[in-house]
Structure 1
Amino acid sequence: MSQDERGLSDGLRPVGSVYQYDDGLYVRVDDVVPYTLADPEDSHGYRQGDDLVCCTMYLSNGTGRPLDLDGITLLVRGGPYGKTGRQVQDYRSDVLDDELEGTLRTGRRVSATWAYSIPAGIAGDLDIEVRFPARDRKSVTFSTASTVATVVGERPVPMAFDQSVPLGERQQSLFADPDEAPEPATGAGHAASAAGGQRATAPAVLDAIPAQPTGPGRQTTRSLAPELSADGLDAARVRQIFRFLAEAEESKTRPVRTLDGAAGAVWFDELPSDDGVEVMIDGALAGDDPAWLTVARPEREDAPHPKPLLAPWVDETRIRDFKEPRAPHLRRRIEPEFPDWSRGIPLDKTYHELDEHPRREKIEKLYAAWEQEWLAWAERRRAIDPVVRLYDRLHKMHEDAAGLGEAYELVLGLGRLTWQTSTGQRVERHLVTHRATIQLDPSTGTLTAAPDPTGAGLELEEGMLEGAQHVPGAVRETIVEVLEGALDVTDPEHLDAVHTALRSWVNAAHSAGSYAPTVERAKPRSLDVPQVGLTPALVLRERSRRSTMDALKAIARQIDAGTPPTELLSYISGRDGALTASDLAAAEDVGAAQDSDEMYFALPANEEQRTIAERLRANRLVVVQGPPVINGA
């Protein structure tokens, strides 16, 4: 059976168990213990406030050919947000090993001990993934979570491979006790314990779920694992379902690292100083409802038009160009509006010359008066132009927010971060956001940017960063608590809590990071270290999938904490004979081979509706997304 058929990533293996690949490679992760730096001054990778742990990976090569060790690594993740641990280099340590390199000959074994900086308090819920550079060998994940061992069954499994063939004599496996002989391997994947002296049992997540009856003629096989309670099976299944959904959702999400692709943005440092513009930075806004920004509709005065006698002698296309310092000049000649061709078409163009016009003096006097009037208008129009442009941008964001629907969201951003990832990708996003709305008063035309009452309040966002750049979990929780005290930031007094939260984030993220509590956007001196400024802005952006991922992970964490799944989730996971997707496919195959009773509908039905009805015959629950809708349902 190939790795793809077996599905290596469908479940987690407990730390200390052995995983065997089809080709005879054995992998074990064990000895996950606290670690202390030998010399903190001569180390790299530790984040202040984190926990330090080390673990050992063991490889035993029974493939019959040399194994390339270059690029074999561990990915350590855990905690409520699935944060990635940062590998720590302790240069004076006698315990830690360097990166694996070279080849491992057949029948040989190798181990490597590495240390990681992880968010505080999550050592009991780590997923340690062994990654291989070769595409034909998928990764395998071991977990320290106790639920992996408590909600699934156990069965005896064979130890490591028999090395007598490649080495010419019987050798002890890397993972076997010296007094214990290996047994022949059977099956696609196996697990064994590292405990010395006695045969151990290891959880087998997939085998712990008994097969479910799937309709007429479908036989069930007896599981090799002991029967578990229904609640235990439900918890294991539901946890696996939501972990899979969260990871699938995350795999489809590309981090948005900058605001370059935003549909619209209004930075508060660009707001004009005008009586028609009020912003909460200057003080709480007057009014019954809380708001961050109000912009009164500016009165746009049209340009003065010249008298009819003067109009032909002034360039009409330049009359509304108020940015010009001088009025459109008085032309000295113009082409006749209606040429006189009574004597034939002239060979040369004809013009009306102002100096030859019988009312030249009258036209010049009209122009002089109109010129003064135009200059006064242009000055007034230039004075209100910043407010006009601000109003137009806000009005367009108001229309776009309504027209783009749920795919986009409007937020107030605080704490503009400039940094870069380990691969050199530029980061420019706000760390703190609050859902926003722009309201239009139809009677006055005033636009108001205010908190969205359906929003969750101020939220800390780190999705634009790599996992190793996130602050430790304990610091994040403290920041979230501080932001709760800032409410909706519609009062300048609330900004003190925001300053505290942003300064705490910078201090925890990098030793050389800096925070500036200013409204202006500062050009970063370098992207090597994080630089954060208050720099508020209204941003219309594409909605992130992060909320969906957080919700899925939260459900999985609640199941881990012992919260029993609801009846609906239990049934979806297979309780009381509910069919899984594979069961449904097999049942349909069986049903197709057997005669079935004729099915009647009250109204004409299509093929999709008949398929839904057929599935309802075999299962009490069928989830249908979108059309078609069964008539009368």
Structure 2
Amino acid sequence: MLNRKLRQQPVTELTKSKVRQLYQFLKQANQLRYTPIRHIESQEKFIRFAEMPSHPTLQIQRPIRVDEETQETPEFLVRVRRPLQTLCPTPPQPLQKWLLSGWDDPTKSVSTAQSLNVVTEVLFTDDPQRVQDLRDFSESRRLGDNSPVNPPTSIAAWLKDGWEEEGSAPEVYERREITETIRFSDDPERVASYQGWLEQRSGWVEPELAARRAMAFYERIYDLYVTLEKDGENLELVVGDGRLQWRAVSEGATREPVPVEIDHPILLKRVELRFSPEVPEFVIAETDREPELYSSIFVDLHDIMAAAIRNRSNELDQAGYHPLGWDDTTGFLRAFVQTISPTKGEYLESPPETGLGNSPRLYRDPMLILRKRSIGIANAVNAIIEDIEATETFPSALEQITGTGTVNRPGFRGGQLV
């Protein structure tokens, strides 16, 4: 971590102490400016892999450990292609006026109107009996006393105004619009056509629902991509697992106990999000960054042994457990929760049904996290502090900043007064 090639003489304990104080100060200053994010909801964005629907356009490839020091890195970790969505089969034309709205929505069931009022145009001459009734009525008027009499029911609605006047011959309209109420079930052929179309639609519904769920996930990845494109200098994408849930106690800036809630993955690794517009698809691929322990959420917690966290961090540095790893990652996470609480820490095989508790609980819940790059400062400073004890040489500039540099001044040697 620190440059060990700029100076050949071993550093003194005074230099180590001063450098340690400097980085402790930087650590405290960083904590005051950047409070560690302990709740996943407070990150810029996050997407749980458990929310990824099952669909051929969505794939996850997890690294496979070959031996204690080697694991196979897949071509990609996640691939998200845009799914093909299709339209609902078109119902036969005679059925379309009977279908209620939403028939082309796979999330809704299909319903038809039980009956319709149908307006049809009828010619007077369509009914021979009606024509005969008009003749008979006209003849009776001609031979009678022309006194008003009620016309036959079959022609009453067809007669034009004025038929009651004395000496006038009854006249009728040539055509009329008639409203009839028709029930859907009145036509067996219509019912059979509807059942046949329902079978076609049923075969479309499930694949289309799956495609739409995949499309919703694709759009969430697209949202990540757009956000990174806009603010990539300040944001980075990591994959995380080992979700820790715990209602803990922090010492706070004033050293007074303060309750804090933790709900966040503790095993993280930087990844890269790529977009191929010609497919189109998004690919989440590995980077050369090593997995990291999200140790900054523990630095101010009460009763947490810094040395134990440091040991787990060193183990991670050596083994490189991947957040998407298999049994090796699970074993590391099991041990980690016992590290932070040997008597109450609990590893769960599935997410808890209850909320946060007073005891730390940890379980596997891989996810993508979009976070601010500043969060990585705390981890870097912590790593430097842990490295100081084993460091044999420091850059001369760092020694001069702490006032322990080996400048050629009378009375000083190795940063000490002689």
Q: What TM-score, normalized to structure 1?
A: 0.42
Is 2:351 the partner of 1:516?
no
Contact 1:432 1:461 in 2 (8 A): yes
Contact 2:309 2:340 in 1 (8 A): no
The residue correspondences of 1:359-378 to structure 2 (distance < 5 A) are 367-378=194-205
Which residue of 2 is the match for residue 300 of structure 1? 85
- Which structure is higher in RCO with an 8 Å CA cutoff and minimum separation 6? 2
The Cα of 1:416 is off from its aligned counterpart by 0.8
Cα separation, partners in 2 of 1:485 and 1:280, compared to 1, 3 Å: farther
Percent identical residues: 19
Distance (whole Å) between structure 2 residues aligned to residue 531 and residue 382 of structure 1: 35
For 1:23-60, what per-residue CA distance to the aligned partner results, in whole angstroms no more than 9, with x for missing partners? Answer: xxxxxxxxxxxxxxxxxxxxxxxxxxxxxxxxxxxxxx
Distance (whole Å) between structure 1 residues aligned to residue 393 and residue 239 of structure 2: 35
Picking from 308, 332, 335, the partner of 1:504 is 335
Flag the structure with higher helix content.
2
The Cα of 1:280 is off from its aligned counterpart by 3.6
The Cα of 1:479 is off from its aligned counterpart by 1.8
Q: What is the RMSD computed on CA atoms of the aligned residues?
A: 4.5
Which residue of 2 is the match for residue 399 of structure 1? 226
Distance (whole Å) between structure 2 residues aligned to residue 401 and residue 353 of structure 1: 63
Amino acid at match of 1:314: L
For 1:462-516, what per-residue CA distance to the aligned partner results, in whole angstroms no more than 9, with x for missing partners? Answer: 32346245753443333223323544738x7x53442333233222211333443
Contact 2:247 2:356 in 1 (8 A): no
The Cα of 1:367 is off from its aligned counterpart by 4.4
Picking from 269, 276, 282, the partner of 1:447 is 282
SS in 2 for 1:421: strand
For 1:221-273, what per-residue CA distance to the aligned partner results, in whole angstroms no more than 9, with x for missing partners? Answer: xxxxxxxxxxxxxxx6x887765554333211223221123343332334444
Is 2:356 the partner of 1:529?
no
Contiguous gaps of at least 5 residues in structure 1: 1-79, 81-144, 152-235, 337-349, 576-633
Number of corresponding residues: 321
Cα separation, partners in 2 of 1:550 and 1:488, compared to 1, 3 Å: closer
Cα separation, partners in 2 of 1:522 and 1:559, compared to 1, 3 Å: closer
SS in 2 for 1:321: coil
Is 2:199 the partner of 1:418?
no
Contact 2:54 2:210 in 1 (8 A): no
Amino acid at match of 1:495: W
Which residue of 1 is the match for residue 46 of structure 2? 265
Distance (whole Å) between structure 1 residues aligned to residue 235 and residue 110 of structure 2: 44
For 1:335-373, what per-residue CA distance to the aligned partner results, in whole angstroms no more than 9, with x for missing partners? Answer: 99xxxxxxxxxxxxx99766299xx88876664543333
For 1:396-421, what per-residue CA distance to the aligned partner results, in whole angstroms no more than 9, with x for missing partners? Answer: 33333333423332211111111112
Which residue of 1 is the match for residue 106 of structure 2? 322
Which residue of 2 is the match for residue 547 of structure 1? 376
Which residue of 2 is the match for residue 538 of structure 1? 368
Distance (whole Å) between structure 2 residues aligned to residue 440 and residue 571 of structure 1: 45
Contact 1:322 1:378 in 2 (8 A): yes
Cα separation, partners in 2 of 1:241 and 1:530, compared to 1, 3 Å: closer
Cα separation, partners in 2 of 1:319 and 1:570, compared to 1, 3 Å: farther
Cα separation, partners in 2 of 1:436 and 1:306, compared to 1, 3 Å: same
Distance (whole Å) between structure 1 residues aligned to residue 361 and residue 386 of structure 2: 33
Contiguous gaps of at least 5 residues in structure 2: 3-11, 66-71, 120-176, 250-257, 406-418
Which residue of 1 is the match for residue 309 of structure 2? 476
Q: What TM-score, normalized to structure 2?
A: 0.60
Compare CA radii of gyration and give the structure with the larger one.
Answer: 2
Amino acid at match of 2:78: L
The Cα of 1:458 is off from its aligned counterpart by 0.9
The Cα of 1:389 is off from its aligned counterpart by 3.5
Contact 2:44 2:372 in 1 (8 A): no
Contact 2:244 2:262 in 1 (8 A): yes
Contact 2:46 2:367 in 1 (8 A): yes
For 1:101-150, what per-residue CA distance to the aligned partner results, in whole angstroms no more than 9, with x for missing partners? Answer: xxxxxxxxxxxxxxxxxxxxxxxxxxxxxxxxxxxxxxxxxxxx9528x9
SS in 1 for 2:336: helix
Which residue of 2 is the match for residue 408 of structure 1? 235
The Cα of 1:538 is off from its aligned counterpart by 1.8
